[in-house]
Amino acid sequence: MAEAPVLFQELPAGARKLGRVTLNVAATLNSLNLEMVDLLQAQLDLWRDDDSIAAVFIDGAGEKAFCAGGDVQALYRSAVATPGGPCDYAEDFFAREYRMNYSLHTYAKPIVCWGHGIVMGGGLGVMAGCSHRVVTEKTRIAMPEVTIALFPDVGGTWFLNHMPGRAGQFLALTGASINATDSIYTGIADRFIDSERKSEVLEALLQQHWEGVASRNHALVRHVLRSFAGECSAKMPDGQVEPHLAAISQLCDGDDIHEIIDNIVSLQTDDPWLARASESLAQGSPLAALWTSRQLREQRLSSLRECFQAEILLVTNIVRHPEFAEGVRALLIDKDRNPAWQYGGSRDVPADVLDAFFFAPWDDNPLVDL
């Protein structure tokens, strides 16, 4: 019998237990599907109400990735099965994924995420929602949804808007890759610890004198992680976002979103990180760049709950639209990397076409009860 896609353990930790979650599909870089989302939600609910569970530790199987995102090919199959209409699997997946993400963000007990290796899309949604987020020398984070005509969801509307300066807007538009140092600077991670220390961290957590009060247990987790992070600080890689923040601010200083896109796409530079970011936006969907920018702008003052409710509205409209299916086809199905985007540039997108993505496609928002 095949091993479960998510493994759960209850590890003895003094008078209490540490709940351990391992995303366990290394062959697909632990990409999330609906079954995994439901398993995570159910176990989080159980442990939330179990007084014997003091804290939770989440990691990914294998050495390559914590989680590379959602199972986009399954979402593609759902989208093309009913073009223009409701996509049952895709819409159920996103609604339940966002609900699970919200549960992580609002969980009272400490949740430690070991964000080692690739952390993209849905994987970042999991990591960003945890209360104690550890990154390593091999962490590689990105939200490259513009390349498949999606947008940085799974709470991206919230955490990208809380990044320094215009960093969130730049990362959302370009899908630029960042490392452990960048993730701490931008606020989506908390501690850098060398990946070789993982077993020691786990053992140290198991040795704590856990209590029945969540706030005190959070303090115990911080005490453990702070010690390891202090010992590993010299190994932190050079960041990209903070050194480029002035350039990012200049590139994102346009009279409108079209000018900002022009600034980034037309950039002539010998800087490899900025050059890759420019190329990624140039190859991405102009329509996706517009709905991504508008989503961030319209939700910049929203609560976390409101951000997830806005995300489910937008993503539902997106998966019903052919631009998304074409983006996935070109990048992941046929892999010709030659998407036939519906519009040649952002200025070619009619205002009413963009507006339609922000009207509710149903009477009741699936996340109205968050």
The verdict on whether 123 is a catalytic residue reads no
Of 313, 302, 167, residue with least CA distance to 247: 167
Q: Identify the active-site residue in 60, 69, 70, 155.
A: 70
Q: What angle do CA 332, 337, 341 make, to 5 degrees?
A: 100
Q: Is 306 a catalytic residue?
A: no
145 is catalytic: yes
What DSSP state is assigned to residue 367?
Answer: T
Of 240, 293, 298, nearest to 262 by C-alpha is: 293
Sole residue written with tokens 């294998």: 62
- Residue 122 appears among annotated catalytic residues: yes
Give me the residue label for tokens 């391992």: 22
For residues 235 and 229, give the distance between their C-alpha atoms in angstroms, rounded to a whole number. 10
Q: List the beta bridge partners of residue 7.
A: 22
Closest CA to 169 of 8, 14, 298: 298
Residue tagged active-site, from 97, 153, 323, 326: 153
Nearest to 11 by CA among 220, 229, 217, 210: 210
Candidate list 60, 121, 122, 284, residue with the active-site label:
122
Q: Single out the catalytic residue among 71, 91, 97, 145.
A: 145
Distance from C-alpha of 296 to C-alpha of 366, rounded to nearest angstrom: 21
* Assigned token pair, 334: 């046929």
- The catalytic residues are 70, 122, 145, 153
